[in-house]
Amino acid sequence: MPVVFEQVFAEKPAGGVIPNPAHDIMPGTALDASGKPIKAYRLTKAVGSSDTTIQIEKGSGIASGDIIGHGKKAVASTKVDTSNPNYDIVTVTMGVEIAIGTVLYQAKAASADSAEPIYQPAYILGSPAYAGEGDQEVRLINGANLRKETAPISEEVVAMMKNISLV
């Protein structure tokens, strides 16, 4: 498992509970106050403004119909191809150029200029939560420096969290 945290300086006492996750959720993922994750999609290939697919890292929990955001723009995905062992291919037209390694976020609604994350982030997951294992007690972090290269969180979501930084 990659190192995600450079420094942790604030945690929720006694942690919290992730209610029966639908997919594996890794440390560094943003969660709302009730434990719902905000999916993050790290690009493994740069995106051109006319591209109709994007290539993302495995393990994001991407599903057809997820709304993918970058900046203030968000677009619904229509298909997910998980057949490649190294990455997933998602059918979506972002309409902008995006650099390799950029982390996109799960948005609330499709929008050309006012997208926002699906949930209000409150915590960063400090321990993994695995699909198929029911409700799980986890470590919840509300103050930390995260590694930009490995943290499964977008800059837009980090900007909404007062005590979280990407370094």
**Dihedrals φ, ψ of 75, to 5°?**
-135, 140
HSE-CB at 145 with a 13 A cutoff on CA atoms is 3
What pTM does this model have? 0.95
The CATH number, out of the four listed (1.10.287, 2.20.25, 2.40.300, 3.30.519), of the domain defined by the range 5-35+120-166 = 2.40.300
Q: Is 156 helix (H, G, I), strand (E, B) or coil?
A: helix
Per-residue pLDDT of the chain (167 residues; tens, 9 = 90+): 789 999 999 999 999 999 999 999 999 999 999 999 999 999 999 999 999 999 999 999 999 999 999 999 999 999 999 999 999 999 999 999 999 999 999 999 999 999 999 999 999 999 999 999 999 999 999 999 999 999 999 999 999 999 999 99
Instruction: Show Cβ contacts of residue 55 under 8 Å, excluding neighbours closer than 6 positions.
Output: 43, 44, 45, 87, 88, 89, 90
Torsion sign across C-alpha atoms 80, 57, 158, 120: positive
